Amino acid sequence: MSYAGIKQFLNERLPLEALDTHLRKPLPKHINLLFSFGSLAMFLLLLQAATGAFLAFYYSPSPEHAHNAVTYISTEVPFGAFVRGLHHWGASAMVIIVVLHLLRVVLYSSYKAPRELTWIFGVLLLLIVLGFGFTGYLLPWDEKAYWATVVGVEISSTAPVLGDFVAKVMRGGSEIGAVTLARFYALHTIWLPWLVFGLVGVHLFFVRYYGSSGTPKNTPEEMKAGKPFYPHQVFEDVVGMLILFVILAAVAIFVPVPLEDVADPTNADYDPRPEWYFLFLFQLLKYFQGPFEVIGTFVIPTVGMLLLLFLPFLDRSERAVLWKRPIALTVTSVSVAAIVILTILGGTSKKLETTEATVQETAQPTEHIQGAATPDTETEIVEEGEEVFDFQLTEEEIEGAKEVEASQ
């Protein structure tokens, strides 16, 4: 069948011409490069989905296997370090791009009527992006993965009323382990992807249905007098995608993705730090102590998210560029500055330096039988000169101790 034949076959069965006309509809005037952030976020989502789907070929979500599997990917599988690098740094790029996308929408107050729903679905997508980050970094099952998740889940446990329940559901029990890893993997690779593609579908539908918002200076005539979406805007978008991919590929090649030692729940020397995009929250928590803890862990993040979600209904002013809206400008600047400063403070905060060596004993039920048994005590000198005792008894020793006690 010739090309013309195939085209005719498809045209007779699908509304391709209507789609072509729709895609070539003119955009508003004064569209600039800032309007490409949405497309870049879409590109990153597809790149994350593709690299993630391929990484899953070599991953096993169990504490016995996860760390070895990730090491295997990074060191033995051809292109493994590159694919993992794209996925890891792509996650960071995604957070940056969606925040820039959000700021562009705030800059031109594009969230105002009739585009409130587009905004709400966009904020939900931002939350899902953060959810991907949170569930994703447990998967390598290294020290950072484990401890960042311990802290993250503890944060949710401080929420009033349901906090403890939510934390237990997240962990799948009272502590982080095999069940937690399995459910984080399921969330990261099944639940969140379904959710994100569903919400992106709705978000994109609104974007196409209401059309691009353009900039506030557009007159009603100018709203339909710009360049067509396809191919002009799409061309600019793919150039942006190419630049973004080249940067990401370079980072993936030249900056190895860290993989720390395998998670160790007894490692008290480890200073947990979250991913950089959660550092502001990490730093914020330090300022609320004792009974005020819940303000940092729950009140501020929840209120902040609700304000962001319902922004179109709170800001009822006329549509204008940000610097012509003093209140919006102040709130946005203060929020961005606060997040940036908290992130820098969190990132540069000193790690805990233990000056006094403490003696740590692995607690075993030895005291009441110490007189009866003489267990082998292995003392290991660790790097810091800290002594670690292991008084654990063998089964024979415990049996022997019981026999001695019974005969007394």
Partner 1 sequence: MEKKGRRSFLEIATAFIGGVLSLAAGIPLIGFAISPAFKKGESKWVDLGLADRLKNSRFKKVDYTFTAKDGWVKATKKRSVYVTDAGNGEWRVFSRICSHLGCLVRWDAEKESFLCPCHGAIFDKTGAVIAGPPPEPLQKLETKVEAGILYVKES
Task: Provide the binding-site residues for partner 1, judged by CB under 8 A.
Answer: 47, 50-51, 54, 57-58, 60, 65, 68-69, 71-72, 77-80, 82-83, 86, 228, 230-232, 234-235, 238-239, 241-242, 245, 249
> In the bound complex, what is the minimum distance in angstroms from residue 270's beta carbon to partner 1?
23
The residue (of 58 and 389) whose beta carbon lies closer to partner 1 is 58
In whole angstroms, give the CA distance from residue 1 to residue 190: 39
> In the bound complex, what is the minimum distance in angstroms from residue 293's beta carbon to partner 1?
40
The residue (of 82 and 270) whose beta carbon lies closer to partner 1 is 82
> In the bound complex, what is the minimum distance in angstroms from residue 30's beta carbon to partner 1?
19
> In the bound complex, what is the minimum distance in angstroms from residue 317's beta carbon to partner 1?
38
> In the bound complex, what is the minimum distance in angstroms from residue 249's beta carbon to partner 1?
7
> In the bound complex, what is the minimum distance in angstroms from residue 19's beta carbon to partner 1?
15
CB atoms within 10 A of CB 345: 15
- 205: its two tokens: 């539908």
> Secondary structure of the chain in the HEC alphabet?
CCHHHHHHHHHHHCCHHHHHHHHCCECCCCCCHHHHHHHHHHHHHHHHHHHHHHHHHHCCCCCCCHHHHHHHHHHCCCCHHHHHHHHHHHHHHHHHHHHHHHHHHHHCCCCCCCCHHHHHHHHHHHHHHHHHHHHHCCCCCEHHHHHHHHHHHHHHHCCCCCHHHHHHHHHCCCCCCHHHHHHHHHHHHHHHHHHHHHHHHHHHHHHHHHCCCCCCCCCCCHHHCCCEHHHHHHHHHHHHHHHHHHHHHHHHHHCCCCCCCECCCCCCCCCCCCCHHHHHHHHHHHHCCHHHHHHHHHHHHHHHHHHHHCHHHHCCCCCCCHHHCHHHHHHHHHHHHHHHHHHHHHHHCCCCCCCCCCCEEECCCCHHHCCCCCCCCEEEECCCCCEEEECCCCHHHHHHHHHHHHHC
> In the bound complex, what is the minimum distance in angstroms from residue 80's beta carbon to partner 1?
6
The residue (of 39 and 215) whose beta carbon lies closer to partner 1 is 39
The residue (of 239 and 338) whose beta carbon lies closer to partner 1 is 239
> In the bound complex, what is the minimum distance in angstroms from residue 365's beta carbon to partner 1?
34
The residue (of 89 and 277) whose beta carbon lies closer to partner 1 is 89
- 366: its two tokens: 């030895």
The residue (of 55 and 159) whose beta carbon lies closer to partner 1 is 55
> In the bound complex, what is the minimum distance in angstroms from residue 50's beta carbon to partner 1?
6
Which of 201, 207, 210, 25 is closest to 114 using CA atoms?
210
The residue (of 60 and 335) whose beta carbon lies closer to partner 1 is 60
CB atoms within 10 A of CB 366: 18
- Whether residue 94 contacts residue 46, with contact meaning beta carbons closer than 8 Å, is answered with no
The residue (of 65 and 168) whose beta carbon lies closer to partner 1 is 65
Partners of 379 in the beta sheet? 389
> In the bound complex, what is the minimum distance in angstroms from residue 194's beta carbon to partner 1?
21
The residue (of 234 and 321) whose beta carbon lies closer to partner 1 is 234
The residue (of 73 and 153) whose beta carbon lies closer to partner 1 is 73
> In the bound complex, what is the minimum distance in angstroms from residue 57's beta carbon to partner 1?
6
The residue (of 237 and 275) whose beta carbon lies closer to partner 1 is 237
In whole angstroms, give the CA distance from residue 325 to residue 327: 6
